[in-house]
Amino acid sequence: MPKLALHWQILIAMVLGIVAGLLINQYWTSETWTSLGVGAPAEFLAGTPHDANAQAGPLAHSARFAAKATDFCGKLFLRCLRFIAVPIVLFSLVVAVASLGDPRKLGRVGGKTIGIFLLTGFTSAVLGVSLATLTRPGVLDDPASRDSLPRAAAQSAVVAEAGAREYSAWKVVLDAVPENPFHAIANAQMLQIVVLGIVLGLGLTLIDPEKATPVIRAFDGLAEAVLRLVQLLMHAAPIAVFALISTIIAGLGLAVFKALALYCLVVVGGLAIILFVLYPGLTTLLTPRSNRVGFARFFRAMSPAQIFAFSSSSSAATFPVTLQCCRDRLGADEGIASFVCSLGVSFNMDGTALYQAIVVTFLAQLYGIDMSFGDCVTVALMAALLSIGVPGIPGGSLVVMAVVLDSIRVPADGIAIILAVDRVLDMCRTVINISGDAMGTAIVAASEGKLLTPAELAARGDSATT
């Protein structure tokens, strides 16, 4: 029997995970636990002794085992990817910068990369403000619906807000420069690691090639070995995707989305415009006709990374998969892919920029604050700039949200309202964040003549491995 391609396996696992999660959320209620002899399900699942669980039978224990095993599989996979993310960013960026060699070439590739990232970042933020202004998801005619908005998470909002107040554009730039490179590596500070990789790579281009070459070769070998590990690890991706998605959906269900339905729709609609119109539009326009990266080619190449971003809500954890897809499935030159994706992992967060712009406009409407044209421009600028340096972790946006809210005096405790639905929207915006890096890679690689055509890629023979 022919083996199903890995991206199909991952896609099927995702759909099954959503279905399983929804079924569990709907039908596995506290009555189900009671019928199995469990009176305090939370304690039972956590393994904390409780008198009410004394009667728990073998079925209850099996259910707990299944829940723990599922959670374990997802967490283990994420841990492996996080383990890979720091070394791969560093190794591949050093090699990429050193192999670009000539600082003029580095400047040209860097300039194009940053230009594309800024263009899409601002476009996304402007799109966010415009969509929210047009659809007005925060204007609730019925005061009862306003009162029904979830506020349960107020506590976490206070924490997120406290973290965010220390955030400013100056601080982002200052913090990007590592005081101690080993500290940056040990603490997985991606922005600092990117700076370290660029500086070290530049340093290698400036010394005697006889000394530089063995060092570059060593980094190159290490980067290659780590990417090979990613290829192997991807064989376990369907199981991990099922585990991650089913656990999240089983916990969330759909009920929480009712109160904020229009807001969620606006966010998802905006993200869809970026993913399905802006990116394929730009790659189609900006890649040559002879080697065009159109809609189908883009999605076929990037779908494993996109599904993984969706399941993990972490663009940093997805980075190894993004890089591998850009190189092995899209056909981008390794140096360019490493350079653009490494920069993108901290600089290019279009999904996050759009999201922040919508949240601020939505909350302003909810609190009855009129936004002037100037306010809209401020919000778009803040959202685009502050998306730079947002950590590529689940809920990373919340770290800077209060600063964007402050910019037009929207009370930051409004974050509590959107927290309840943040996780699923986070899954969606993370897909956009990593797709933006792939879009940049395709355009820069094609403009430098460093993008294989599908025929060349097939002849090289490794596109089919994942």
Residue ranges binding ligand ASP (CB under 6 A): 313-315, 349, 352, 390, 392-397, 426, 429-430, 433
Shortest distance, position 462 Cβ to ligand ASP, whole Å: 27
Instruction: Look at the chain and count its residues.
Output: 466
Residue 234 or 390: which CB sits closer to ligand ASP? 390
Shortest distance, position 426 Cβ to ligand ASP, whole Å: 5
Shortest distance, position 415 Cβ to ligand ASP, whole Å: 12
CA dihedral sign, ordered 105, 107, 109, 111: negative
66's tokens: 């299944």
Alpha carbon dihedral 352, 354, 357, 361, in 10-degree steps, equals -130
Residue 121 or 396: which CB sits closer to ligand ASP? 396
Residue 36 or 345: which CB sits closer to ligand ASP? 345
**CA distance readout (Å), 281 to 126, 365, 439:** 17, 32, 10
Residue 36 or 385: which CB sits closer to ligand ASP? 385
Half-sphere exposure of 349 (CA within 13 A, CB side): 33
Q: Which residues contact 69 (CB under 8 A, 6 or more apart)?
A: none
Nearest Cα to 398, choosing from 422, 382, 421? 422
Residue 10 or 317: which CB sits closer to ligand ASP? 317
Shortest distance, position 251 Cβ to ligand ASP, whole Å: 17
Shortest distance, position 201 Cβ to ligand ASP, whole Å: 24
Residue 100 or 431: which CB sits closer to ligand ASP? 431
Residue 278 or 452: which CB sits closer to ligand ASP? 278
Ramachandran sector of residue 292 (left: φ over 0; alpha: ψ -120 to 50; beta: rest): beta
Shortest distance, position 387 Cβ to ligand ASP, whole Å: 8
Q: Are 330 and 442 contacting, i.e. CB atoms less than 8 angstroms apart?
A: yes
Strand partners, 451: 332
Shortest distance, position 30 Cβ to ligand ASP, whole Å: 31
The rounded distance, in Å, linking the Cα atoms of 311 and 324 is: 17
Q: Which residues contact 162 (CB under 8 A, 6 or more apart)?
A: none
The rounded distance, in Å, linking the Cα atoms of 306 and 450 is: 23
